[in-house]
Amino acid sequence: MRNSEQDNQILLEKIREYWNERIHDLEVATHPVGTEGFFEDLASYRFEKLHYLPEVVDFSGYRGKKILEIGCGAGIDLIRFAQGGARVTGVDLSETAIELAKKYFAYKQIKGELKVMNGEALAFKDGEFDMVYAHGVLQYTADAQKMAGEAFRVLKPGGRFIGMVYNRHGWLNVMSRFFKVGLEHEDAPVLDKYTIRELRGLLSQFSKVRIVPERFPVKSRLHGGLKGLLFNTLFVGAFNALPRSWVRKSGWHLMVFAEK
Ligand SMILES: C[S@@+](CC[C@H](N)C(=O)[O-])C[C@H]1O[C@@H](n2cnc3c(N)ncnc32)[C@H](O)[C@@H]1O
């Protein structure tokens, strides 16, 4: 554990405040926050940038199953599980995130339980869920070990955990240091990066832990100027011309699939 219980609570409040102010990927939206177009903007950007995601996460493979998403944000992934027939619950520390997710589900007329809740202290019974999903969340919380323990606890025996953390040895971390370009949410109260070994350690309670580095360079809509041009033309092309097997370990996202 990183801190005393009291320090942990203080840090969690800072994390809540931060995410109440900063909606993930907000800068790509052209429609006003909370409108139907806003959610479509977020979804189209997400699946353009993370085109690997539907290839490795079977959003429609959980029909009738109970899924919990920890740190669901505006619900962009959670709604896909629900559209695939899963019974979904999404929790997030941020009130803003949950308000937005509720609007998104309402626009789509899809059922889902959405609650403000700390993923380090889940108000669910042991063994309630078939699958727990946490994409881009463990690295932003105060005590990732606690969150991983809670994910384990609320899973049924044989249940699945799917998560994503940032790769300390990933290309984007190296690039950002080299070119002095800030990472997304670098100003967040917590932003941890993991090696594959550290991630295995974090999830040591689970069995059959499989870690797959993903998220290789794609053209960025966000970076302009000379750096943006060089990145989009030279770097993205050159990197993606290399055989994946050579560069696989440098994927920026460590996707993890584990079983209880
Ligand atoms: C980078 S965003 C990711 C959102 C969403 N999973 C996605 O991939 O778009 C991180 C999210 O984790 C949430 N979060 C951080 N710590 C949390 C905690 N202890 N409990 C619940 N949510 C948390 C934040 O409020 C924020 O919505």
d(CA 9, CA 31): 35
**CA 137 / ligand 1 centre spacing (Å):** 5
Percent of the chain with pLDDT over 70: 98
Question: Average pLDDT of 141-159?
Answer: 98
Q: Which numbered atom of ligand 1 lies nearest the CA of 137? A: 12
Q: Which residue has the higher pLDDT, 4 or 127?
A: 127
Q: Which of 92, 122, 183, 254 to mutate to test the pocket of ligand 1 (most atoms within 8 A of CB)?
A: 92
Q: Which numbered atom of ligand 1 lies nearest the CA of 46? A: 9
The answer to whether 3 and 11 are in contact (CB under 8 A) is yes
Structure tokens at 259: 């079983």
Does 24 contact ligand 1 (Cβ within 6 A)? yes
Q: Which residue has the higher pLDDT, 115 or 2?
A: 115
Q: Residue 257: its pLDDT value, please?
A: 98
Q: Is the pLDDT of residue 1 over 60?
A: no
The answer to whether 249 and 211 are in contact (CB under 8 A) is no
**CA 140 / ligand 1 centre spacing (Å):** 7
Percent of the chain with pLDDT over 90: 72
Q: Which residue has the higher pLDDT, 183 or 249?
A: 249
- Over the stretch 24-79, which tens digit does the pLDDT of each residue have? 778 788 999 999 999 999 999 899 889 899 999 999 999 999 999 999 999 999 99
Q: Is the pLDDT of residue 131 over 90?
A: yes
Q: Which residue has the higher pLDDT, 77 or 236?
A: 77
Q: Is the pLDDT of residue 138 over 90?
A: yes
Structure tokens at 48: 């353009």
Q: Is the pLDDT of residue 224 over 70?
A: no
**CA 7 / ligand 1 centre spacing (Å):** 19
Q: Where are the domains of the chain?
A: 5-219+249-259
**CA 35 / ligand 1 centre spacing (Å):** 21
Q: Which numbered atom of ligand 1 lies nearest the CA of 25? A: 9
Q: Is the pLDDT of residue 106 over 60?
A: yes
Strand runs labelled E in the chain: 66-70, 87-92, 113-116, 129-135, 155-167, 193-194, 207-214, 253-259
Does 70 contact ligand 1 (Cβ within 6 A)? yes
**CA 239 / ligand 1 centre spacing (Å):** 30
**CA 121 / ligand 1 centre spacing (Å):** 14
Q: Which of 125, 107, 113 is nearest to 81 (CA)?
A: 113
pTM for the full model?
Answer: 0.92
Q: Residue 242: its pLDDT value, please?
A: 80
| CATH-assigned architecture of domain 5-219+249-259 | 3-Layer(aba) Sandwich (3.40)
- Over the stretch 160-208, which tens digit does the pLDDT of each residue have? 999 999 999 988 887 787 777 778 888 999 999 999 999 999 999 999 9
Q: How far is CA 171 from the centre of its chain?
A: 18
Collapsing DSSP states into helix, strand and coil, what is residue 159? Answer: strand
**Residue 221 identity:** R
The answer to whether 149 and 121 are in contact (CB under 8 A) is no
